[in-house]
Structure 1
Amino acid sequence: MRYLELVGAPPPGAPRFFRLVADSPHVDEARLLEWNASTEDALTALYAVDGDADAFAGEVGDSSVVVGFDITRVDDDRFYMLVVGRPSEAPLFQQVVDSISRMGLIVATPVVYREGTAQFRIVGESEVLQSMIDAVPAGFEVDVHSIGTFPDEATAPTRTLSERQRATVTAALELGYYESPRNATHADIAERLGCAPNTVTEHLQKAEAKLVRAAMRGPVTSRD
């Protein structure tokens, strides 16, 4: 199984909603988490957004593609948004989605919108992925940022851990080391594993560094 990592900007004439999600001054980043075609001409999508909920809601309500939306705030700078839209108002995007579905490919979530672009991965067989690039309709420009084997460390970050690092993190989780407040110390983990506390410290530091790097790397941006 392979993936294509693609980066593209909403094309000229794209519905205002897509341009807002990608490049609104009130949004630092938006992540499309899930979507579902609820009816023939209605698509429901769930976004996680870093930005100003009130200001963005005022903009979204003025977009022809949006039938309705609901916002749940996490804090002052983060919110979730459930959007019901009309695919018929975005024929170019619908054409791309239909091509992906017809070819038996999958768009891996999240789709990340930031700095005026959408960044996403399409997963499938190598030959079909090449056909997908050839089938991108005129007017929808995307760049192939990378091609790789799925999953990789970005989609399955624990694959980067050594056996001892994985065992140490697992023991730490089971003992409550990552609870707040912590229910275990490095000495407790060391006793469980039958090693010295400084060995636990070393394994946790290396494992946490790998996991954080993989989590923060995420989908690419145009600056990468």
Structure 2
Amino acid sequence: MKRVRITLRPTGAYAPPIYELLAGDADYLEQTHIVNWNVATPPTTFLLWLRGDYRRFGDVLETHETVHDYEILPLSARECHCFFQGEVATAARALFKNFTQGSLMTVPPIECNDDGSNTFTLIGSDTDIQAAVDGVPDGVSVTVDAVGGAGVAPERVLDRLAPRQREAIKIALERGYYDAPRRATIDEIAEELECATATAAEHLQKGESVVIAALFDG
């Protein structure tokens, strides 16, 4: 059996509106994970873990036309589990199912990144993993981030960062953003990332949140 760490970036019909909120469009959510899911038959059901102003997300679910049912289960003032059930396009459901064929198992959680991508661990035979990667449709980019390892969860803090968070922090380190005194500004980081200043600041803030939270794991 092989363990791989994969990042997908769905677009169009492969990225339902609710997913887009989880993966960057809702700036009030700092981190979002898909903890579990059932895409076998419509309607599709998800269990999410959210960090941020999750009550605003609940307000969206209350009125969203694709949502059949939902429940917010608070864990703290800034964290919750969220169950919801709703309609998901056939293309998006097929994308999920692609990673459940044969010997394959997707290890929760699926981490929704703020650049629209998602990252997860996949376990299975070499043949089935290769078939799943090859089976990703043209409308979805796929990257194999890591292969192998002793466990099934990310072993390094670096592996917990979304690709753009990792890139932003790497550039910030190289440019001296974290030096005292600072040798770079957020505007300079944004210029190298080729994005807006607010976007660069968001990548750094969310990435730093992951790193700090990892220091206290366990």
Q: TM-score range by the shorter chain?
A: 0.5 to 0.7
Look up the match of 2:21. Answer: 20
1:68 alignment counterpart? 69
Give the 3 Å change call, closer, same or farther, for CA 137–103 of structure 1 in structure 2: farther
AA aligned to 1:29 is: Q
Match of 1:97 in 2: 96
Preserved contact between residue 7 and residue 142 of structure 1 (Cα < 8 Å): yes
Q: How many residues are treated as equivalent by the alignment?
A: 162
Q: Is the 8 A contact 2:101 2:128 kept in 1?
A: no
The answer to whether the Cα contact below 8 Å between 1:15 and 1:63 also exists between their aligned partners in 2 is: no
Structure 2 distance, partners of 1:48, 1:95, is 23
Q: Structure 1 10/96 Cα, relative in aligned 2: closer, same or farther at 3 Å? A: closer
Q: Deviations over 1:163-217 (max 9, x none)?
A: xxxxxxxxxxxxxxxxxxxxxxxxxxxxxxxxxxxxxxxxxxxxxxxxxxx5x45
Compared CA separation, residues 101 and 59, structure 1 to 2 (3 A): same
Q: CA deviation at 1:92?
A: 1.9
Q: CA RMSD for the aligned pairs?
A: 2.2
**1:65 is matched by which residue type in structure 2?**
T
Matched, 1:51 2:58: no
CA distance in 2, matches of 1:5, 1:66: 30
Q: 1:63 to 1:141 in 2, by over 3 A?
A: farther
Asked if 2 retains the 8 angstrom alpha-carbon contact of 1:16 and 1:64, the reply is no
Instruction: Give the SS at the match of 1:75.
Output: coil
SS of residue paired to 2:30:
strand
AA matched with 1:109: P
Secondary structure at 1:145's aligned position in 2? Answer: strand
Residue 221 (str. 1) matches residue 162 (str. 2): yes
Is 1:132 matched with 2:132? yes
Residues 10 and 62 (structure 1 numbering): CA distance in 2 closer, same or farther, change over 3 Å?
Answer: farther
State the alpha-carbon separation in 2 of the partners of residues 85 and 107 from structure 1. Answer: 21
**1:121 equivalent in alignment to 2:62:** no
Consecutive unaligned residues of structure 1, counting only runs of 5 or more, are: 158-213
- CA 146–121 in structure 1, closer or farther in 2 if over 3 Å, else same: same
Q: Which runs of 5+ in 2 are unaligned?
A: 167-218
**Residue 32 (structure 1) aligned to one of 31, 34, 58:** 34
CA distance in 2 between counterparts of 1:9 and 1:29 reads 17
Note if contact 1:20-1:60 (Cα within 8 Å) is conserved in structure 2. no
Q: Deviations over 1:13-57 (max 9, x none)?
A: 4221000011111111111112235x7312322111001122111
Alpha-carbon distance in 1 for matches of 2:67, 2:5? 27
8 Å contact kept, 2:10–2:139: no
Note if contact 1:32-1:45 (Cα within 8 Å) is conserved in structure 2: yes
Query: 1:218: Cα distance to partner?
Result: 5.4
Q: Matched residues in 2 for 1:111 and 1:141: separation?
A: 16
Pairing of 1:199-210 with structure 2 (within 5 A): none
Q: Percent identity?
A: 19
SS in 1 for 2:85: strand
State which structure, 1 or 2, has the greater radius of gyration over its C-alpha atoms.
Answer: 1
Say which SS state the counterpart of residue 70 (structure 1) adopts.
strand
